[in-house]
A and B are shown apart, each in its own frame.
Chain A
Amino acid sequence: MAATANPVPLVHLGLEPGPFHERLIAHNRQQAWMNWMGYASPSVLDTVEFEYFAIRNQSTLFDISPMCKYAITGPDAEAVVNRLVTRDMRKLKPGRVAYCIWCDEDGQVVDDGTIFRYSDTEFRLCCQEPQLSWLEDIAWGFDVEISDVTREVAGLALQGPTSCALLKDLGLAGIETLKPFGIAEFKIAGSEVSISRTGFTGDLGYELWMDPADALNVWDALVAAGRLRGLRVIGYEALEMARIEAGFLLPKVDFLSAQTVLRANRASTPYELGLDWLVALDKPHFNGRRALLDLSKKTPRRKLVAIEIERDKPAHNALVYHRKTREVGMVTSALWSPTCKRNIAYAWLDAPYGQSVTDNLWVEIYLQKEIRWQRRMARCQLVDKPFFVHPRRAATPPADH
């Protein structure tokens, strides 16, 4: 039998344009793109510094469409979601969002993400890593439908102190009553937009979800209204600064998914990540529960901690020492926080360091001063997350700025 069909076109090669790409191109003066799940995502459009300060001072737009999104619907949707994540989802009311983690059978974290509950029977999961097979495996035997809606939903993060005012300017009646982790439906320039008061910045802010066909229309309306509210389009680098200050962990940077590690001991448990508060051991069976029951009684073999470091040089990729000599851990994320004026970082510390032993810890920082490298041992101490806390994040109704 001869193959007589026409050539089958190739899939897209290289970085793929997302739903906001046309507009992002216009703003991306640095032509600096990075790869986010295969999409062209801006790393910096103008200047990282000013993009960052717009998050903490005005309003910012960041395209979050590349996030993996899964719709979980049907009579057993709640049971499936509750079996997936470690939090008790029976307590999540329709119209609310919850930050969650989920684990494998060994109690090792697979990924983190947000669960949106639209009704009794409709949920959406937003996360960094593809999870379709994982979800389907968990849904075996349940009356539920799971579909990948990543390409069916465009997302924009609108974050910053003037973000509520901006949405009010667009005539979104009642947006000021939306509480943190709440969801409500609105229209922007005639397009349906689902808005959640969520974000990755630790500041006042919203995430807007829409049909990709409406993406440019919504974008244009936001940008027009933003002229009076100091709106700035930002790239990943500015967001990364805000997320460290806000105390959020980033998969692939601060921890690795148990699904992707090659070395079994590179995965981490909720207890090691300091996410005990997300584990509801008192709820019925969920993935990893048996292992987590055991793990909850043991001292974690290592722990991800927040540290503050003396002087002003960020401790990127630094090793952590006890008494300047014994290597006890490593830094995963580091930042000189321009808002807190603190030198902050997350670090993995092997037990007992960071748990029963917390004094005399040092990070080894390499500084380049006009080509020459210098090694500096800087004292650090354990501190609480988040580094940045502001009442405007949770104030309802939010102020205009």
Chain B
Amino acid sequence: MTYDAIIVGAGHNGLTAACFMARAGLKTVIVEKEDHVGGAAVSLSLTPGWTYSNCSYVCSLLRPEIIRALELPKHGLQVIPYEGGAVFDSKGDYFAYMSDHDALRRELIRHSPRDADGYERYARAVMRQCKFIKPLLLRTAPDPASLKPRDISELLYILKRFHGLGAREMAETVRFWTMSIAEYLDQYFETPMIKAYIAGSGIIGTGLGPYSPGTAYVLLHHYMGEVDGAIGAWGFARGGMGSITQAMARSFQAAGGEIRTGAGLDRFIIKGGKVRGVALANGDELMADTVVSGMDVRRTFIDHTEEKELPQDFVKGVKRYRFRGSSGKLNIALDGMPTFTAAPKDASFLRGDLHFLDDMEEIERAYDDWKDGKWSASPYVDFLIPTQIDPTMAPPGKHYATIFVQYAPYELADGQWDDANREAFAETVISKIARHSSDFRKLIVHKEVRTPKDIEDQVGLTEGNIFQGELTFDQLLFNRPVPGYAQYRSPIKGLYMCGSSTHPGGGVMGAPGANAAREVLSDLGHRIDMGFSA
């Protein structure tokens, strides 16, 4: 079969790129190794009556421009903001992040009047940085070494925006991009629990501790999303994260695209430095002069491309690109709503993200365990029960808990990720939660446990890194994934990258996919109308 374009991997970025290309009139096919689309944005039912968001679990970063351009709401996507959140400490108290601004202020004052003021300063500082960075998401990162007019004008655009921040804020931006989240928060807050609550966004998915430089940027990465223009807000995709990729798949098919599931890639077919198509594991060969890989950069070029086709410096760049999986996930079916010792019954903050922490040091110690090749004895968990507002994922009165766990190593120092270790890992997490919720354990009906190794094996993310590579400054912008190859093109003509290994990085954002499609269409001489102005 011959196509105009082949997309490898039906994750949200592959689907996004595919949608834009099909809409531009290209005869496009997606090949996917699993028998369902979605990559890390999936909703699967593993026990009757319950649906899990098996990997990614909350939505904020998905660019509104993409939702609109691909008509995802028409194809079934609903994003519902959730309210609140809280951290419980070991002394029986909590800090509740209240959605109502005045209630939040009262809650901050309950812990520290200074932190109430500090929160306002902090929120403004982060918002300023978000406003600076947001327009860069749907733009191709300029190559500073290039003299092409486009690169120069894009560099000038960034410089102009940077300069527009003013002297004080320029200094702040550089600090923000390089500091640790712990030191950053020390400038604004004094209450350990409040700092720990906020710091979570700086370490989620990242093989760094809260005192490691670069973690402030990771926090920013998690804040620059929005729900209906409310910047920093997070929501649930109704029906789980799979409803995002299901809507994308329908949008793609409505534009004439073809999806082949259960069709894993064997290798890219490359002749004379040009891509000619793909050879599938089942022996089929599909031909196209344009092939776009949604897989991470190591899978794409080390596992599925013959090294002799690639320049040595590029291969080196790919090999040194850091993944370092550090996260695990538990999905749990619950027979009812758990109660929390410290929380008043039906407290609205229980509908948000819950954590169990005393202070920053506890997160740092959790990180220390990971460095030693162990899962954290007292892990950072991001615990949500979406079924409090999403009626589609569990039977009435029953609940689904999504539990993201930081940190878990890809390789254990002692032993393998076998069933026994996986169970012990889950037990560590469950017993931590059970210390704050006495009925949690007995409500468990079914559980899915995913270690970084499982995430790699089942989802295809190298070392289980949820961002397709660490989000540190050395691997961002024109350095993502490899200097000189940050504009979605590879050394092989016609072979492009569109996964989270490329600018602007991970999270269910869709921006890499949209940006890659724009570059592909530009190379093919298409008049580019993405439906939004970047």
Contacts and interface: CB of A to CB of B under 8 A. Distances in A.
Contact of A1 (B90, B168, B347): B90
Interface centre among B89, B102, B344 (most CB of A within 10 A): B102
Contact of A3 (B102, B106, B435): B435
Contact of B341 (A7, A12, A130): A7
Interface in A36-91: 37-38
A7 B117 contact: no
Interface stretch (A131-139, A163-171, A307-315): A131-139
Contact of B342 (A3, A106, A132, A136): A3
B230 interface: no
Given A8-B94, A259-B124, A260-B124, A14 B103 contact: yes
A205 B348 CA distance: 44
Nearest to A133: B117
The size bracket of the interface on A is 20 to 34
Contacts of A16: 102, 106
Nearest to A130: B117
Contact of A264 (B121, B165, B435): B165
A266 B131 CA distance: 15
Nearest to A135: B117
Interface in A81-136: 106, 130-134, 136
B374 to A, nearest CB: 21
A374 interface: no
A3 B91 contact: yes
Nearest to A131: B117
Contacts of A214: none
B128 interface: yes
B85 to A, nearest CB: 14
Interface stretch (B46-54, B107-115, B290-298): B107-115
Given A3-B88, A3-B436, A8 B342 contact: yes
Interface of A is mostly: loop
A8 B113 contact: no
Contact of B114 (A6, A12, A15, A133): A133
Contacts of B120: 130, 259-260
A95 to B, nearest CB: 29
Contacts of B92: 3-6, 8
B216 interface: no
B265 interface: no
A4 B347 contact: no
A130 B96 contact: no
A26 interface: no
Contacts of A38: 102-103, 105-106
B435 A11 contact: no
A175 to B, nearest CB: 35
A15 B102 CA distance: 8
A5, A8, A132: residue with the most chain B Cβ atoms closer than 10 Å: A8
A391 interface: no
B269 interface: no
A35 B166 CA distance: 33
For the side of the interface on B, what is the size category?
35 or more
A9 interface: yes
Interface in A216-268: 259-264
B523 interface: no
A13 B117 CA distance: 19
A13 B103 contact: yes
Contacts of B342: 3, 5, 7-8
Given A1-B90, A262-B128, A10 B96 contact: yes
B103 A134 contact: no
B131 A262 contact: yes
Interface in A1-35: 1-16, 35
Interface string B338-366: 00011111011000000000000000000
Contacts of B89: 3
B190 to A, nearest CB: 10
A350 interface: no
B354 to A, nearest CB: 13
A176 interface: no
A297 B504 CA distance: 45
Contacts of A262: 124, 127-128, 131
Contact of B106 (A6, A12, A136): A12
A148 interface: yes
A331 to B, nearest CB: 25
A68 to B, nearest CB: 10
B332 interface: no
A131 B114 CA distance: 9
B307 interface: no
Interface in A357-393: none
Interface in B155-183: 165-166, 168-169
Nearest to A39: B102
Interface in A178-237: none
Given A3-B342, A7-B342, A8-B342, A136 B114 contact: yes
B341 A5 contact: yes
A13 B100 CA distance: 8
B76 interface: no
A197 to B, nearest CB: 31
A129 B295 CA distance: 50
Contacts of B121: 133, 259
A8 B93 contact: yes
Interface string B122-136: 001001100100000
B330 to A, nearest CB: 21
A11 B113 contact: no
B118 interface: yes
B227 interface: no
Interface string B72-89: 000000000000000011
Most buried by A among B90, B98, B106, B165: B106
B116 interface: yes
Contacts of A10: 96, 344, 347
Contacts of B343: 7-8
Given A3-B88, A6-B92, A13-B100, 9 more contacts: A7-B343, A11-B96, A11-B98, A12-B106, A15-B102, A38-B103, A132-B113, A132-B117, A264-B166
The 8 closest A-B pairs by CB, nearest first: A5-B92, A38-B102, A133-B117, A11-B106, A264-B166, A3-B92, A7-B344, A11-B107
Interface of A: 1-16, 35, 37-38, 106, 130-134, 136, 148, 259-264
30 contacts: A1-B90, A3-B89, A3-B92, A3-B435, A4-B341, A7-B341, A7-B342, A8-B94, A8-B343, A8-B344, A10-B96, A10-B344, A11-B96, A11-B110, A12-B106, A13-B98, A13-B348, A14-B100, A38-B102, A38-B105, A38-B106, A130-B116, A132-B116, A132-B117, A133-B117, A133-B121, A259-B120, A262-B124, A262-B131, A264-B165
